[in-house]
Amino acid sequence: MQIYWFFILIASVKADTLQSQCPPTASSIQPLLDKAFMYGAAIVVVNASDIVYQQTFGYDSPLNSNQRQPINDSNSVFLLASISKTFIAVAAMQMVEATRLNLDTDINEYLSPILNVVHPQYSNVTITMRHLLMHASGIGANAAVEIESYMLGDAFIQINLGDVLTKYFNDTAGWLPISPGNRTFYSNVGTNLAAFVIERLAGMRFEQYVQDRILKPLNITEKMGGYRLSSFDEKSLVGNYLYNESISAELYVFLQRLNATAVGSSQWIHIPFHGSSLYASGYLRMSARGLSLFLKAFLNNFSTLLRNASSIEQMLHISPQEAYAHPSTTKYGLIWNWVDIGRRRLVGHQGSLIGATNLMLANEKRTLGAILLTTGDISTATNHTMEAGTTMISIMTQLFDCFERNQSTASNQHACTLFIWLMPEL
DSSP 214-272: IIGGGT--TTTEES-GGGS-GGGBPPEEEE-S---HHHHHHHHHTT-EE-TTSSEEEE-
Beta bridge mates, 371? 44, 360
In a domain, 170, yes or no: yes
Which domain covers residue 302, as residue numbers? 6-421
126/17 Cα distance (integer angstroms): 47
* Confidence (pLDDT) at 8: 43
322/373 Cα distance (integer angstroms): 29
Q: Where are the strands (E) in 174-213, listed by range?
A: 183-184
* Confidence (pLDDT) at 369: 98
CA angle at 49 for the pair 86 and 78, rounded to the nearest 5°: 40
Pairing assessment for the beta strands 183-184 and 77-79 based on DSSP bridges: unpaired
In a domain, 1, yes or no: no
In a domain, 208, yes or no: yes
Sign, CA torsion 166/167/171/177: negative
In a domain, 161, yes or no: yes
In a domain, 203, yes or no: yes
In a domain, 426, yes or no: no
In a domain, 286, yes or no: yes
pTM of the model: 0.92
* Confidence (pLDDT) at 20: 66
Q: How many domains is the chain partitioned into structurally?
A: 1
State how far Cα 416 lies from the chain centre.
Answer: 39
pLDDT, tens digit, for every residue of 137-160? 999 999 888 899 999 999 999 999
257/145 Cα distance (integer angstroms): 13
Q: How far is CA 8 from CA 15, 110, 290, 346, 372, in A?
A: 10, 35, 25, 11, 15
CATH number of the domain where residue 365 is located: 3.40.710.10
279/257 Cα distance (integer angstroms): 16
* Confidence (pLDDT) at 426: 30
Sign, CA torsion 87/89/91/93: negative
Cis before 113? omega within 30: yes
139/124 Cα distance (integer angstroms): 15
* Confidence (pLDDT) at 4: 45
* Confidence (pLDDT) at 1: 53
Give exposure, 112-150, as e/b (b: 16+ Cβ within 10 Å).
eeebebbbeebeeebbbbbbbbbbbbbbbbbeebbbbbb
Counting as low any pLDDT under 70, the low residues of the chain are: 1-20, 65, 408-426
